[in-house]
Homo-oligomer: A and B are copies of this chain.
Amino acid sequence: MISKKCLYALKAVLALARHQGAGPMTIQQIADAQEIPARFLEAILRDLKQNGFTESIRGKEGGYILARPAREIRMGDIITCLEGPWYTPGPDTDVFSTIWEEADRVLTGVVNQIDFQSLLKREDELRFSHTPDYSI
């Protein structure tokens, strides 16, 4: 399965996407909102920054923002950034190589179809469908 680190990264980007246009979010805010250990999140956000997904503002009133619109960041981008490629073709091919390639292809296909704008929308729909209706 996906590592916690990677899941934290996805959640952090999602939080930043929701906050986009409202100034920077501090590490602590993101950590609180998504239940991520703050010191761990710090390293993750630095990683995301180095790969061009986030930008940071230092000093007081500082924090993190997305470097690009949520629409232009795909789940697959973040996953590849944190986990590296799922399968790397080696020099010698056996019967299984082509199958790992196929698996990689379909997996990439799934996560690259989803950008963070659509994740926000999905999240809203999920919240809507899960809100219990207490009316009589």
A residues contacting B by CB (< 8 A) are 1-2, 7, 10, 14, 75, 86-87, 93-96, 98-100, 102-103, 106-107, 109-111, 114, 119, 122-123, 126
Contacts and interface: CB of A to CB of B under 8 A. Distances in A.
A95 B123 contact: yes
A91 to B, nearest CB: 13
Q: How many copies of this chain does one complex carry? A: 2
A14 B126 CA distance: 44
Majority secondary structure, A binding face: helix
A102 B114 CA distance: 12
Contacts of A102: 110
A107 B87 CA distance: 13
Contact of A7 (B10, B93, B96, B114): B96
Given A1-B87, A86-B1, A99 B126 contact: no
A119 to B, nearest CB: 5
A119 B100 CA distance: 13
Contacts of A95: 14, 119, 122-123, 126
A82 B63 CA distance: 44
